[in-house]
Amino acid sequence: MSDPHSNDAQESPAVVRNNTMDAIVAAVLFAVGAVVIVEARRLGAGWTDDGPGSGYFPFYIGLVICFASLGVFYQAMFSKRRDSGVFVDREQLGRVASVLLPAFAFVFAIAFIGVYVASAIYIAAFMIVLGKYPPAKAVFLGLAVSAFFFLMFEVWFKVPLYKGRLDPLGFLGY
């Protein structure tokens, strides 16, 4: 019987290492801290006659964020004990992209064809491509789910959702 944890199969090459991702997150957090510091100084980070200014505490919180992110960046890039394990390999990145890229396309499609039509296409496409469902079943269920939500929001709750610039459901009068 084979061990499920053995590395008999060739592993997918690393795309990003842990220390690289740590450094990227530290840089982003440093930028956030810098924005907090700049805005706190704009609000007044000093001590006034009646106590601390409105930016006093945010200024110091921004400083703490910046110093902490510098420490994380140093550990990630220059420490002898940095974690250089695999953060994500090609196979994992492919799986994430197979969900994330269609989600971006879905959000982009909402602007043009609206929530209901984009949702029907999104559901059907996911069922066909990732779920390996028969196309007829997937299209039927995508349309059924979108029709149910259309009835629920537009008809029963009277809460209109965005129909898109092209307004493909304009013929329904909603």
pLDDT in tens, the chain (174 residues): 444 444 544 678 889 999 999 999 999 999 999 999 999 999 999 888 889 999 999 999 999 999 999 999 999 999 999 999 999 999 999 999 999 999 999 999 999 999 999 999 999 999 999 999 999 999 999 999 999 999 999 999 999 999 988 888 788 887
β-strand 86-89 against 47-48: which pairing, if any?
A: unpaired
State how far Cα 53 lies from the chain centre.
35
pLDDT of residue 99: 94
CA distance 73 to 77: 6
Instruction: Name the residue ranges covered by the structural domains of the chain.
Output: 15-88, 89-172
Give pLDDT, residue 12.
82
Look at residue 119 in the predicted model and tell me its pLDDT: 97
The two beta strands, 14-17 and 86-89, are antiparallel
Q: What is the pLDDT of residue 2?
A: 46
pTM above 0.85, yes or no: no
Q: Which contiguous run of DSSP H or E holds residue 84?
A: none
pLDDT at 10 (0 to 100): 61
Which pLDDT score, from 0 to 100, does residue 6 have? Answer: 47
Determine what percent of the chain falls in helix, strand and coil, rounding each to the nearest 5: 65, 5, 30
| Among the listed residues 40, 70, 69, the one whose alpha carbon sits nearest the alpha carbon of residue 56 | 40
